Amino acid sequence: MANDAFKALAHPLRREIVERLSAGDATVGEVTRDFGVSKPTISRHLKMLEEAGVVSRVIDGRTHRLTLRPDRLAEASEWIESQRARWERLFDVVVEYLEEQKRDR
């Protein structure tokens, strides 16, 4: 599932949509204002966010309201955090090794 979130966030326009929705629910028009791309392009990007479960949509007549689903982003965030912790441990080992090499000289 985290892969879906990464794929959904791979494009800068989709990241901007997520950023705008982080301030709260909004209509499609509100969240995509001033993007300078066609409506079909917007639709494709929103579809990818919805399929990944990052964004949900409620339709009320002609109004489409979007909601950010941070729980889906949490999975990706947890994976990133585990990788960060792993790399920090590896870097700590390298630092210890280099310090040891300095002392031995």
**pLDDT tens digits, one per residue of 40-55:** 999 999 999 999 999 9
- Please check the confidence at residue 1 and state whether its pLDDT lies above 70: no
In this structure, what CATH number is given to the domain that contains residue 28? 1.10.10.10
Instruction: Report the alpha-carbon distance of residue 2 to residue 77 in Å, rounded.
Output: 8
pLDDT tens-digit map of 52-95 = 999 999 999 999 999 999 888 888 888 889 989 999 999 988 99
Q: What is the extent of the structural domain holding 46?
A: 2-104
- The residue written with tokens 């969240």 in the block is 31
Confidence of residue 2 (pLDDT cuts 50, 70, 90): low
pTM: 0.76
Contact 17, 30 (CB under 8 A): no
Number of domains, the chain: 1
| SS3 annotation, 24-67 | CCEEHHHHHCCCCCCHHHHHHHHHHHHHCCCEEEEEECCEEEEE
Instruction: Report the alpha-carbon distance of residue 22 to residue 99 in Å, rounded.
Output: 44
Confidence of residue 104 (pLDDT cuts 50, 70, 90): confident
